[in-house]
Structure 1
Amino acid sequence: MLKNLLPSKPGTEPLAEALKACKSHFVWAAVFSALVNLLYLTPTLYMMQVYDRVVPTGGILTLTLITIVAVLALAALAGLDWLRGRLMLRAGLRLDRMLSGKVLQRVMDLQAKSPNTQALREFDNVRGAIGGQGMLALFDAPWTPIYLLCCFLLHPAIGVLTLIGGITLFTLAWLNERDTRPRLNKAIQSQNSAYAAQEGIAGQAEVVRALGMRQSSIARQVEQRRHATAAQADAQLAGGRYSGAIKFLRLVMQSAALGLAAYLAVKGDISQGSIIASSVLLSRAVAPVELLVGVWPSLVQAVTSWKTLTELFSGTAAVERERTALPDPKGRLQVEGVSVKFPDTENPQLRSVAFVLKPGETLGVVGASGSGKTTLARVIAGALKPQAGAIRLDGAEYEAREGDELARWIGYLPQVPSLFAGSIKDNISRFATATGVDQETADRSAVKAAMQAGAHDLILRLPQGYDTMLGPFGQGLSAGQAQRVALARALYNEPVLLVLDEPNSNLDQEGEAALMQAILGAAARGAAVVIIAHRAGVLARVDRLLMMRDGMVQMEGPREEVLEKMRAAAPRAPGQPGPAPAQPQAQQQAPARVAGPAAQPPRNSQ
């Protein structure tokens, strides 16, 4: 069984290793299950001895001795049953220790084309099935033939009755599996979709309330939940019919075994003690089948979840591959023919984008809304993988470095600050202490980054300074404060590449001045800086400009050259002989955009 579940696709090695690490738990659980099932014969043997030896002879001493032996055997049975249950629980805990972090890591590496936010829930389904009654039922099932053999030893007629009943029960169990599997899969998919929709609405609760979408959102969620519960009820009702039929058949068979054994005893073919023993043996022979039918939904769900995890790990095989340690980069950025197309969209967001940025250079990216600026920023920051082309840092493709190692050299400020629940200090330091970084080192680096971002004084004016606790999505700060803290986070540990997506969208004049100083300071120490902006103030001192349209680079080069080309390409004003003075694309936009509260969750902008 374990061998059949071992995944063999590239990237699934952690799953296989975790199962192999639990092999000893499974082996010992199987051994204990064998002993438990042998000891389950104790009541049968005890009754046979009582009726065949004690009652006819009146042997009290014999009764006392066999009673002591039976009690000890039953105590051993209870202890072994507890031990095997504890072993399977420990196996589930070991799987959790070995895989929970890796599952989260793989989910983090997924791209928009294959989201799977339910992966940890799928893993919990597997862990719950291993630590529950389902696995124990599987360990007990192979012992059904042993009990059947014991029934034949009592009398062939009793054995035939048990065999016919067992075959009937197995047939019902097979029909149950065939009938309920598609229903269970449908129920699982409906539940996952409903949970994902609920999480999405909860993450945008403020927008839902502000737009008056509460009732419509609730109606949609109730409808999705209705479909999910209906599918689950359908699966349970289908399984319930078979469970009821199996229970009825088992009771009829036990009664039939008693009647048949009594008839055989009257004829003198078996002893009186065998009458009760036949019923007990038959019950034990069919008990694993009945238990399997009861736990079958959880086992099917666990197998489906395991397949989902296997697909997740095989689809993110590059996460844990071994990489050669590379020297520290200097900040030379090369974008080579990068193309991106999101699922379910007609046109690509980026088309063969290419440019080079040297260490210490600053690049401003301008263009109309929907031109692909934010998508380009996400790709350069390493947050999104392109379908075609390559991004290189000092000549090495991004994939040549492990994700966190690459991010160490990149500072990223997204459109929405995207702060997390925790202290401001932890947000700036990217929660470095959770990975073993010394607290004092993290504190010093966080304060240094805040100073470089011009946010140090702002943070000190907060009630608890750097120790001020924020709620989910950075609740507790204004939009402008959150953006300046996020800028400090981008500057943490002095990255060699800085990617700023509309970094001044929520800033006042003081904040914009601090931002400009931070950009110039990063460039002065040799960092390459990419700035996506609608407001022209932050682009006044960039070295180069890149203009985008429809996902393609329309113009790119030194700032003054690009501005001259933009002026030449601008339409002539009526009555003027020459080209009308034109402003950069960034200046043609509204002077500022009113941002939502800092607690707003990230939006999927292009």
Structure 2
Amino acid sequence: MFKNLLPSKPGTEPLAEALKACRTHFVWAAVFSALVNLLYLTPTLYMMQVYDRVVPTGGLTTLVLITVVALFALAALSGLDWLRGRLMLRAGLRLDRMLSGKVLSRVMDLQSKSPNTHALREFDNVRGAIGGQGMLALFDAPWTPIYLACCFLLHPLIGVLTLVGGMILFALAWLNERDTRPRLNKAIQSQNHAYSAQESIAGQSEVVRALGMRQSSIARQIDQRQHATAAQADAQLAGGRYSGAIKFLRLVMQSAALGLAAYLAVKGDITPGSIIAASVLLSRAVAPIELLVGVWPSLVQAVASWKTLTDLFAGTAGVERERTALPAPRGRLQVEGITVKFPDTETPQLRGVAFALQPGQTLGIVGASGSGKTTLARVIAGAFKPQAGAIRLDGAEYDARDGDELARYIGYLPQVPSLFAGSIKDNISRFATATGVTQDVADAGAVKAAMAAGAHELILRLPKGYDTILGPFGQGLSAGQAQRVALARALYGEPVLLVLDEPNSNLDQEGEAALMQAILGAAARGAAVVVIAHRAGVLARVDRLLVMRDGMVQQEGPREEVLEKMRATAGRPTPPASQPQQPSQAQSQSQSQAQQLQNQPRGPRPAS
């Protein structure tokens, strides 16, 4: 179970480095464990001296001297035991400092939800096992042969008793591992699924209440929780049977050791002091095995969690690779044959999508619902990586830049504004102060972005202006206000590429006018702008249009040319047939959008 814990797959280097950084802690903990286990012989030696030297001779001075030595040894034992526990706790804290941020970074880079989204919980399992009794039990286990050898030194029969008992205990421990491992893995998986369901429902509690799904949601959660609890109880019950058997066997062996030693002492084969020594040595010989059985579930869970972390880091190997520093891009976008297929879906969401956009140009993307517009927006914004094809910014693929560095040059407004708990100023500045940006720089950038988005006056009318605190998911703002604040966030830092997905879905006339000015202003300063919209008003002044259908580009080019083609397609006579053909929903939506765009005035664009 403990093989290959030092990961070697590409991408897992941070895990290996963190373990190597804790090597000193592990080495010293092993050294202190060796001293602790040697000092555990103190009670045995003390009893032998008392019964063999003090009692027969009445030597009180000897009793005082050996008692002082024993007290000193026991004090050293306690101190060393405390030190090794502290060392392992420090090792866990070092792992936390070195890996917690990297684990979160890798989770953020996941393409879709999976059990790895609980990676930080898995990491806490590993850290808890390292800082708990599990690792100390592993350090103590190799000393069992030492105590066994001491038993043989007392008398071969006592050694044989200890050896046979230890072998039986080891067999029980092996059976315990074999029997409980699948049960524990099942319990861990069931717990992860139950937690995922709870988090998902909690995040959509408003919808659950509004749709009257409280009871059904609760019933589903209880059912999943019962499965997880039953699996965990099954694993604990299986382990409990072995723990009880091992405890019973240990007590029987201790009593047997006392009886056997007494018999040998009566025969004169050992001294009376060896009677107590035999029981103590046997107890210390089997104690690590008993302790291992007790902590085995946590060790198994820690190993499984470590494997989960290894898979996570191996699956996101490109996140922290070294990259050559590239100059700031100007905003030339190239989409080259990208294909996207979500897991567990039959058909791709995007198929061979390709187009280009120059700095200062605006592109409107239209199409029926389900045509792939939002997926394309996510890919262009860098939120999702395509399975095939490439996206380039000024000729460089997105992966050529670090994720956060790339995001500095891209402004993204998703369909759902997705604001976070914190002040409006922090939301607009993308919480830049948390990464070392000074407060003055973040404040100035936030206000400038809000002005560019036409949201400055709106924000000033709020109770505390830019310092207004929002709840989780942006609670405290209306849908329209949240969308305008999210637009300001997209414009923060004057990105060279702006991706707006349904940016006017919640806006009134004033907000839509501000949005239009923000789009034209971004294009005027040289940014490439991609706008996805169902309402045609925001697309009235775009330079180019791209029509999506079934995940593919149906038409793309200058706005007027595409509109002319759409009008021609919409007005084309239906070929004769035995039955009249009805236009599909996608065709109807495309014709409707073409009509809306045709009726919108082009309007002048501001001079660059």
For the aligned pair, the TM-score class normalised by the smaller chain equals: over 0.9
* Cα separation, 2, equivalents of 1:63 and 1:56: 12
* Equivalent residue in structure 2 for 1:584, among 585, 588, 593: 593
Aligned ranges for residues 466-545 of structure 1 at < 5 Å? 466-545=466-545
Give the letter aligned to residue 309 of structure 2: L
Give the letter aligned to residue 259 of structure 2: G
* Cα separation, 2, equivalents of 1:584 and 1:504: 15
Structure 1 position 584, deviation (Å): 2.8
Give the letter aligned to residue 457 of structure 2: D
Residue 274 of structure 2 is matched in structure 1 by: 274
Equivalent residues of 2:563, 2:594 under 8 A apart: no
CA distance 1:499–1:586, change in 2 (3 Å):
farther
CA distance 1:172–1:388, change in 2 (3 Å):
same
Structure 1 position 56, deviation (Å): 0.5
* Cα separation, 2, equivalents of 1:515 and 1:41: 80
Residue 78 of structure 2 is matched in structure 1 by: 78
* Cα separation, 2, equivalents of 1:231 and 1:438: 50
* Cα separation, 1, equivalents of 2:445 and 2:248: 71
- Give the SS at the match of 1:507: coil
CA deviation string 1:149-177 (max 9, x = no partner):
00000000000000000000000000000
Structure 1 position 549, deviation (Å): 0.5
Structure 1 position 347, deviation (Å): 1.0
Residue 456 of structure 1 is matched in structure 2 by: 456
CA distance 1:585–1:225, change in 2 (3 Å):
farther
Structure 1 position 112, deviation (Å): 1.8
* Cα separation, 2, equivalents of 1:468 and 1:303: 45
* Cα separation, 2, equivalents of 1:401 and 1:76: 55
Equivalent residues of 1:533, 1:586 under 8 A apart: no
CA deviation string 1:129-154 (max 9, x = no partner):
00000000000000000000000000
* Cα separation, 1, equivalents of 2:212 and 2:595: 33
CA distance 1:426–1:536, change in 2 (3 Å):
same
- Give the SS at the match of 1:352: strand
Equivalent residues of 1:147, 1:284 under 8 A apart: yes
Give the letter aligned to residue 83 of structure 1: L
* Cα separation, 1, equivalents of 2:165 and 2:247: 12
Residue 378 of structure 2 is matched in structure 1 by: 378
Give the letter aligned to residue 493 of structure 2: N
* Cα separation, 1, equivalents of 2:327 and 2:134: 51
* Cα separation, 1, equivalents of 2:373 and 2:412: 14
* Cα separation, 2, equivalents of 1:151 and 1:238: 32
Mind listing any 5+ residue stretches in structure 2 that lack a counterpart?
A: 575-587, 601-608
Structure 1 position 2, deviation (Å): 9.1
* Cα separation, 1, equivalents of 2:191 and 2:253: 38
* Cα separation, 2, equivalents of 1:422 and 1:351: 39
* Cα separation, 1, equivalents of 2:529 and 2:227: 50
Residue 63 of structure 1 is matched in structure 2 by: 63
Query: What TM-score, normalized to structure 1?
Result: 0.95
* Cα separation, 1, equivalents of 2:177 and 2:42: 33
* Cα separation, 2, equivalents of 1:266 and 1:115: 64
Give the letter aligned to residue 406 of structure 1: L
Residue 585 of structure 2 is matched in structure 1 by: none
Equivalent residues of 1:366, 1:585 under 8 A apart: no
Residue 337 of structure 1 is matched in structure 2 by: 337
Structure 1 position 586, deviation (Å): 8.4
Give the letter aligned to residue 464 of structure 1: K
Structure 1 position 573, deviation (Å): 8.9
Give the letter aligned to residue 466 of structure 2: Y
- Give the SS at the match of 1:463: coil
Structure 1 position 116, deviation (Å): 2.2
Residue 604 of structure 1 is matched in structure 2 by: none
- Give the SS at the match of 1:337: strand
Equivalent residues of 1:422, 1:471 under 8 A apart: yes
Give the letter aligned to residue 362 of structure 1: T
Aligned ranges for residues 353-392 of structure 1 at < 5 Å? 353-392=353-392
Residue 324 of structure 1 is matched in structure 2 by: 324
Give the letter aligned to residue 558 of structure 1: P
Residue 215 of structure 2 is matched in structure 1 by: 215
* Cα separation, 1, equivalents of 2:553 and 2:261: 89
- Give the SS at the match of 1:345: coil
Equivalent residues of 2:116, 2:309 under 8 A apart: no
Equivalent residues of 1:331, 1:527 under 8 A apart: yes
Equivalent residues of 1:350, 1:372 under 8 A apart: yes
Residue 188 of structure 2 is matched in structure 1 by: 188
* Cα separation, 2, equivalents of 1:191 and 1:586: 53
- Give the alignment's Cα RMSD to 1 decimal: 1.7
Equivalent residues of 1:411, 1:499 under 8 A apart: yes
Equivalent residues of 1:190, 1:227 under 8 A apart: yes
Residue 154 of structure 2 is matched in structure 1 by: 154
Aligned ranges for residues 39-118 of structure 1 at < 5 Å? 39-112=39-112, 116-118=116-118
Mind listing any 5+ residue stretches in structure 1 that lack a counterpart?
A: 575-579, 592-606
Give the letter aligned to residue 397 of structure 2: E
Give the letter aligned to residue 219 of structure 1: A
* Cα separation, 2, equivalents of 1:583 and 1:326: 44
Structure 1 position 5, deviation (Å): 1.7
Equivalent residues of 2:2, 2:303 under 8 A apart: no
Sequence identity (%): 87
Residue 600 of structure 1 is matched in structure 2 by: none
CA distance 1:216–1:423, change in 2 (3 Å):
same
Give the letter aligned to residue 10 of structure 1: P
* Cα separation, 1, equivalents of 2:495 and 2:115: 29
Structure 1 position 585, deviation (Å): 4.7
Equivalent residues of 1:265, 1:272 under 8 A apart: yes
Equivalent residues of 2:118, 2:192 under 8 A apart: yes
Equivalent residues of 1:173, 1:289 under 8 A apart: yes
Equivalent residues of 1:534, 1:585 under 8 A apart: no
Give the letter aligned to residue 195 of structure 2: Y
* Cα separation, 2, equivalents of 1:3 and 1:238: 24
* Cα separation, 1, equivalents of 2:244 and 2:344: 46
* Cα separation, 1, equivalents of 2:157 and 2:439: 76
Residue 177 of structure 2 is matched in structure 1 by: 177
Residue 253 of structure 1 is matched in structure 2 by: 253
CA deviation string 1:67-106 (max 9, x = no partner):
0000000000000000000000000000000000000000
Give the letter aligned to residue 385 of structure 1: K
Structure 1 position 255, deviation (Å): 0.1
Residue 167 of structure 2 is matched in structure 1 by: 167
Give the letter aligned to residue 242 of structure 1: Y
Equivalent residues of 2:365, 2:546 under 8 A apart: yes
CA deviation string 1:306-351 (max 9, x = no partner):
0110010011000011100001100000000011011111111001
Structure 1 position 587, deviation (Å): 3.5
* Cα separation, 2, equivalents of 1:193 and 1:551: 32
* Cα separation, 2, equivalents of 1:25 and 1:430: 38
* Cα separation, 1, equivalents of 2:65 and 2:139: 32
- Give the SS at the match of 1:318: coil
- Give the SS at the match of 1:343: coil
CA distance 1:586–1:263, change in 2 (3 Å):
farther
Residue 580 of structure 2 is matched in structure 1 by: none
CA distance 1:312–1:542, change in 2 (3 Å):
same
Equivalent residues of 2:116, 2:308 under 8 A apart: no
* Cα separation, 1, equivalents of 2:371 and 2:46: 83
Equivalent residues of 2:258, 2:278 under 8 A apart: yes
Q: Which deviates the most, 344-353 or 87-96?
A: 344-353
Equivalent residues of 2:115, 2:192 under 8 A apart: no
Equivalent residues of 1:446, 1:492 under 8 A apart: yes
* Cα separation, 2, equivalents of 1:115 and 1:131: 24
Residue 17 of structure 1 is matched in structure 2 by: 17
* Cα separation, 1, equivalents of 2:211 and 2:367: 29
Structure 1 position 582, deviation (Å): 5.4
CA distance 1:222–1:3, change in 2 (3 Å):
closer
Equivalent residues of 1:366, 1:373 under 8 A apart: yes
* Cα separation, 2, equivalents of 1:540 and 1:478: 26
CA distance 1:229–1:451, change in 2 (3 Å):
same
Equivalent residues of 1:534, 1:587 under 8 A apart: no
Give the letter aligned to residue 473 of structure 2: F
* Cα separation, 2, equivalents of 1:433 and 1:207: 34
Residue 129 of structure 2 is matched in structure 1 by: 129
